Amino acid sequence: MGDVKTKGHHSAGKTLLNPEMIKADFPILSRRIGDRPLVYLDNAATTHKPESVISAMDEYYRKMNSNVHRGLHTLAEESTAAFEWTRKKIAAFIGGVETEEIIYTRNATEAINLVAYSWGRKNIRKGDRIVLTEMEHHANLVPWIALAKETGAELKYIPIDDNYRLDLNNIDKIISDNTRLVSITHMSNVLGTINPVEEIGQTAHSKGALFLVDGAQSVPHMPVDVKAIDADFYAFSAHKMLGPTGIGVLYGKESILNEMEPFIYGGEMISEVRYDFADWNDLPWKFEGGTPNIAGAVGFSPALDYLSDLGMDNIRNHEIELTAYTIAKLSDLKSIKIIGPHDTCMRGGAISFIDKDIHPHDLATFLDSRGIAVRAGHHCAQPLMKRLGLTATARASIYIYNTPEDIDKLVKTLREARRYFCNE
């Protein structure tokens, strides 16, 4: 596939993807909304699935369906092999970590909650500090708010500056000697900002704190090496990177995971149970109680293959170019304000914007009537919205199958919205 969907090898920072050819691999992208062809610009919420992912999951249920581990029959062995093979691919995809360090979860949200519950309850005490940022998704806010309320720990936030980037001027004071955990997003789902995780992680470790990264928006869009970042934990979801919903990943350093208690108790996560005693399974299974999303793991495998074949450098360069094109086109609209950095080398392709006269919900509804899918609302980041003085934004977010023509349709329809709502 890689030889067809790309024009060659990565070179000179230019995109080598062929989005029109890529679109042909995604059945849903041939759909029409009313009488209009679908223009899908809601990829930060979830991405569409190529035929290879859909077919893999269909074939699993038709030919292999069985529970994993311990079964001695053919179907169980085949299902287990497929399930664990995907784990190996995930470990390779994020920098070549050990497979024991890859924990299957339902999504990035559950992965962060796992850390808050299994590590946080044991290690966070009254007077300790947890450091977050002002741009966090609720998934990386609410678990720590709840833990701080339960334990008496203090929450401290790295602020954002007027350019929608983290203000690190006082980072050595914010990440204090009593900080036990620093937990930040790699790429903001609202602002598109890519944060300097290596630098922040070094500061966290210098103060003796652990470092968690929410990679839900970064792993699908750019090369990620969790060992180079030196993250203690790293969380992401399959459905934002061409895979199925209902399956996510927590990477954790083996030495830390070994010291943590399980998150969910029951079958699979045990090594021995008596009426008055239970002992836990080895990594990674001690964190995977109950029947997992086997079909999701099977579907995640070809999604990883698809992205690997395209090349994550190629994907990143495509998004840099298309993000620059989008920001330039939106900037031509006098009524539109972009909420996020304009420097495309420092940001991803989730582009939030407001129209000075039209509510984002009305704007999104109007765009949908023309077949264009964007998201509108607070994007699960209410504190950030309040910090920015906003209640909601519209958000267009791009991926591998988006083209300049998609952006042209967006901008054209935003002009039509002005005529419809404002008589312009």
Choose the catalytic residue: 146, 312, 380, 390: 380
Cα 408 to the center of its chain, rounded Å: 26
Same domain, 270 and 163: yes
Q: Report the CATH number at residue 413.
A: 3.90.1150.10
On whether both 107 and 229 belong to a single domain, the answer is yes
Q: In the listed set 286, 308, 330, which residue is the last one of a domain according to the structure?
A: 308
Residues 147 and 264 in one domain: yes
d(CA 136, CA 191): 10
Tell me if the bond preceding 284 is cis, omega within 30° of 0: yes
pLDDT tens-place string over residues 396-412 = 999 999 999 999 999 99
Looking at residue 135, its pLDDT comes to 98
Question: Do 133 and 241 reside in the same domain of the chain?
Answer: yes
Residues 139 and 262 both lie in one domain: yes
Contact (Cβ atoms closer than 8 angstroms) between residue 132 and residue 380: no
**Domain end point (choices 308, 339, 368):** 308
pLDDT for 424:
82
Q: Do 247 and 319 belong together in one domain?
A: no
Could you read off the pLDDT of 378-402 as tens digits, one per residue? 999 999 999 999 999 999 999 999 9
pLDDT along the chain (424 residues), means of 10: 44 70 97 96 98 98 95 95 98 98 98 98 97 98 98 98 97 97 98 98 98 98 98 98 98 98 90 90 92 97 98 97 98 97 95 98 98 98 98 98 98 97 90
Whether residue 212 is found in the same domain as residue 351:
no
Do 286 and 360 reside in the same domain of the chain?
no
Within this chain, do residues 362 and 299 fall inside the same structural domain, yes or no? no
CA-to-CA distance for 121 and 117, rounded, in angstroms? 6
Based on the fold, state whether residues 62 and 171 are members of the same structural domain. yes
Domain stop point among 277, 308, 339: 308
Query: Are residues 222 and 294 located together in one domain of the fold?
Result: yes
- Our answer to whether residue 345 is catalytic in this structure is no
Domain count, the chain: 2
Query: 0.75 cut: is pTM over it?
Result: yes
264: domain CATH number? Answer: 3.40.640.10
Question: Is the domain of 316 the same as that of 350?
Answer: yes
| Residues spanned by the domain of 304 | 54-308
Specify which residues 277 forms β-bridges with. 274
